[in-house]
Structure 1
Amino acid sequence: MSGGFEDLVAANQKFADSFSLKGFDGVAKAGVAVVTCMDSRIDPLGMIGLKPGDAKIFRNPGGRVDNSALEALVLATHLLGVERVLVVPHTRCAMASKSQQELRQVIGESAGQDASWQSFHVIEDQLDALAQDVAKVRSHPLISDRIKVAGFLYDVDTGLLNQHQ
């Protein structure tokens, strides 16, 4: 095997040796879905005391409820046992601390080519964006009013969730 993935494949073998979800139907055992950022400081299951199989996780830059997240939530609430949705952006997020121009410049320099054409979904006001995202889920015509939806800001320095919506 080549390509620089040997350590990950070896770790996967150890994981598979004690794999416990064989035959699992994919339904969220705790009835929870989390929309959060792709940031590696976030452990979406651990931060709310859950384990694999308990929740559906949707991650993207900034933890935004975009069309893909809404699609996932519609499926999760109708097919996969989700009854509660947490929308969880976080502190010190690059998407909320850098401008479109700054991201284009940094990415362009890293890529060694012009990135001025690339759109990044920067967040000017995180709490306002969180309120909008929670409202998108609550008002979606295919997500029942019975589904509980809440917005939290995750603090990457303390591990605490702070409810805002």
Structure 2
Amino acid sequence: MTGAFDDLLAANEKYASTFSHGDLTGRATRGLAVVTCMDSRIDPLGLLGLHAGDAKILRNAGARVTDDVLRTLVLAVYLLGVDRVLVMPHTDCRMSKSTDDEVHRLIAAEHGIDTRSLEFQTVRDQEETLQHDITRIMTSPFLPRTLTVGGALYDVHTGRLRLVEPPRP
């Protein structure tokens, strides 16, 4: 593995030479958690006008509210100052262009790996899925009813957010 990360270590040396965030506490100073996709076109802090320390950023394929996201939100709310959550999937997402079955077949055909024991949680309808995931947070017995939860779709081609109306109780 020697050499595989040399570019990253060199970049880190440069970053560390001017590092100025050592006084941050780990709490979300803006009280925000963002659930978004792992897509590398998304810069959650930049697109929301945030800085290091402002928010907790939770990323996974498709910006899905999984059990692990709920676990992390519980910690963020009760221990790290979060009082609002934005669920933010994006346009042109690979997770919205396939079904789980198609992904399983593709990986098996191209790589010979049987992934059928995994649930990829692909997205048939982004707005419907976003409503579902917001509801999942709002109805979690582990999160306070006072938690503000919203959703927005990020357009990777324009950089703009479009708020999505939260589900009605």
TM-score, with length taken from structure 1? 0.92
Letter in 1 for 2:111: A
**What displacement does 1:117 show?**
4.8
Q: Deviations over 1:64-95 (max 9, x none)?
A: 11100011111111111111100011111111
Percent identity between the aligned chains? Answer: 47
Look up the SS of the partner of 2:137 in the other structure: helix
Paired residues, number: 165
**Structure 1: runs of 5 or more not aligned:** none
Matched, 1:45 2:8: no
Letter in 1 for 2:74: V
Q: d(CA) in 2 for partners of 1:78 and 1:137?
A: 14
Partner of 2:25: 25
**Structure 2: runs of 5 or more not aligned:** none
Letter in 1 for 2:144: S
TM-score, with length taken from structure 2? 0.90
**What displacement does 1:123 show?**
1.1
Q: Within 5 A, what are the aligned runs for 1:59-70?
A: 59-70=59-70
Asked if 2 retains the 8 angstrom alpha-carbon contact of 1:28 and 1:53, the reply is yes
Partner of 2:101: 101
Q: In structure 2, do the counterparts of structure 1 residues 148 and 113 end up closer, same or farther at CA, with 3 Å as the change threshold?
A: closer
Q: CA RMSD in A?
A: 1.6
Look up the SS of the partner of 1:45 in the other structure: helix
Q: d(CA) in 1 for partners of 2:115 and 2:143?
A: 37
